[in-house]
Amino acid sequence: MRLDNFVNEGINDIGILHAVFMAGAPGSGKSHSLQKIKSGQIDARLVNTDKFFEFLGNTNIQKSKILTLGQLRLYIDSMLPLFVDGTSTNSSTTLKRKALLETIGYKTGMIFVNCELETSLERARKRKRIVPDEIVIKSYEAMEKIKPIYKSAFDFFTEINNNDSDLDDNAVIKAFRKTTNFFTSEPSQKGKEIIEKMKSENWKYLTDGIYNEAFFGQIISNWYDVIGGHSI
């Protein structure tokens, strides 16, 4: 279902068909960093792969995935600029999602949030949903190993140091400018062709004519490798 009163951006708005992935170990402060660097000029929507999971709990994992996919489908069908925040320790999953967005026409980038292990552990202990130390350590080590993979995979890749004393005004301004420049950069070649076609046909949504519902639905379902292709 399309919610025109909720999604009212248009084909000429800034940042359409751009998506930035947030990466970092648990407790690195991805959400805090994101709030600091978001631009009021660009209303990028947050796709948080853990949001509904945290709300619904362990017994409703499948339902949380379906809710996330419903939100994601609405955003992407409208070509909205995105911040993708969630677990990034599995590089194959992150790169698969990157490829899915690029298949649809998005241009992608990544912000990698760094912090020291002790800082990560301390922050994780203070969370409402506590993450055991051993998992934080394992995730931290995994992120350090796969950082070079992400750095080589994303044309736009920037790092933020988010220890207690590092996220100062200069670091925020620098990250803010880089992120804003990415969202205001030209779309990918495929994105340009899509935008040109949609303008000529006066289409508002990708499913108005760029993609049929079956193809679009399958692409969205593959975000979580949903078996059977749920109808969202």
pLDDT tens, residue by residue, 76-114: 999 999 999 876 788 998 999 999 999 999 999 999 999
Is there a domain that residue 75 lies in? yes
Domain holding 134, by residue range, is 18-221
Q: Which two tokens stand for residue 53?
A: 């999971």
Is there a domain that residue 72 lies in? yes
Question: Quick check: 126 pLDDT over 60?
Answer: yes
Question: Quick check: 200 pLDDT over 80?
Answer: yes
Kindly list the strands in the beta sheet with 156-161, ordered across the sheet, starting from the edge strand earlier in the chain: 45-48, 82-85, 18-23, 107-114, 156-161
Is there a domain that residue 172 lies in? yes
* Domain CATH number, residue 162: 3.40.50.300
Question: Quick check: 54 pLDDT over 50?
Answer: no
14-44 residue pLDDT tens: 999 999 999 988 888 888 888 888 866 788 9
Longest alpha-carbon distance in the chain? 55
Is there a domain that residue 124 lies in? yes
Helices (H) and strands (E) in the chain, counts: 9, 5
Question: Quick check: 51 pLDDT over 90?
Answer: no
| This prediction's pTM | 0.85
Alpha helix segments (H runs only) across 108-168: 117-125, 133-153
Q: What pLDDT sits at residue 226?
A: 43
Is there a domain that residue 62 lies in? yes
N-to-C CA span, the chain: 8
Is there a domain that residue 54 lies in? yes
- How much of the chain exceeds pLDDT 70, in percent? 82
Q: What pLDDT sits at residue 166?
A: 65
Question: Quick check: 61 pLDDT over 50?
Answer: yes
Is there a domain that residue 50 lies in? yes
Q: What pLDDT sits at residue 6?
A: 45
Is there a domain that residue 11 lies in? no
Question: Quick check: 50 pLDDT over 70?
Answer: no
Which residue has tokens 């000529």? 200
Number of structural domains, the chain?
Answer: 1
161-170 residue pLDDT tens: 888 666 677 7
User: Residue 230's pLDDT band (boundaries 50, 70, 90)?
Assistant: very low
User: Residue 4's pLDDT band (boundaries 50, 70, 90)?
Assistant: very low
103, 16 contact by CB (below 8 A): no
127-147 residue pLDDT tens: 777 778 998 899 999 999 999
Q: What pLDDT sits at residue 62?
A: 65
